[in-house]
């Protein structure tokens, strides 16, 4: 089955054998966008979070056919040069430790910012898990936004 996806502002044609294939695997395996990570596979950890029509979505459990006709933004599409305010704040506050979960966290923060939320409102919407426990540094970075 051939599908059209809009990923990071670019129309992409992908061919999948099963329309139930998770969007995560299409992004990583077919489009080579490996910034979005696989964590738990059951929508809990948030490592796979991408922006779909401005909303945070766990791509590990979203069928690729559900993404057709929507605007998908991955961490690679958030900014070309780490100039998004959240990325700048993450760098300034040295948030990542291992960094595995950070693309998903940044996408959740970017979605909250896009919705007009600030400060503690942002952190209350971020439901991502960080095994390294960098939550305090995340909070400090969000305060800087």
| CATH number for 8 | 3.10.20.30
Residues 95 and 72 placed together within one structural domain of the fold: no
Residues 68 and 105 placed together within one structural domain of the fold: no
Asked if pLDDT for residue 77 goes beyond 90, the answer is yes
Domain count, the chain: 2
Residues 104 and 62 placed together within one structural domain of the fold: no
Query: 92 is written with which tokens?
Result: 């300034």
Residues 103 and 137 placed together within one structural domain of the fold: yes
Residues 62 and 17 placed together within one structural domain of the fold: yes
**Which tens digit of pLDDT belongs to each residue from 78-114?**
998 999 999 999 999 999 999 999 999 999 999 999 9
Last residue of a domain, one of 76, 101, 118: 76
Residues 114 and 112: their CA atoms lie apart, in Å, by: 5
Q: How confident is the model at residue 73 (pLDDT cuts 50, 70, 90)?
A: very high
Residues 58 and 22: their CA atoms lie apart, in Å, by: 10
Write the burial class of residue 134 (CB in 10 Å: 0-12 exposed, 13-18 middle, 19+ buried).
buried
**Residue 22, domain extent:** 2-76
Query: 15 is written with which tokens?
Result: 């061919």
Residues 70 and 25 placed together within one structural domain of the fold: yes
CA 114 to chain centre: 13
Residues 90 and 125 placed together within one structural domain of the fold: yes
């Amino acid at each position: 089955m051939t599908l059209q996806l809009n990923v990071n502002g670019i129309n992409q044609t992908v061919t999948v054998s099963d329309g139930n294939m998770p969007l995560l695997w299409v992004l990583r395996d077919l489009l080579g966008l490996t910034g979005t990570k696989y964590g738990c596979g059951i929508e809990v950890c948030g490592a796979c979070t991408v922006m779909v029509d401005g909303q945070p979505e766990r791509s590990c459990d979203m069928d690729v056919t559900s993404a057709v006709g929507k605007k998908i933004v991955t961490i690679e599409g958030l900014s070309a040069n780490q100039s998004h305010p959240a990325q700048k704040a993450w760098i300034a506050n040295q948030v990542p430790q291992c960094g595995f979960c950070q693309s998903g966290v940044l996408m959740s923060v970017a979605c909250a910012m896009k919705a007009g939320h600030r400060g503690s409102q942002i952190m209350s919407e971020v439901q991502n898990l960080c095994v390294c426990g960098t939550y305090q540094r995340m909070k400090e970075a969000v305060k800087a936004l």
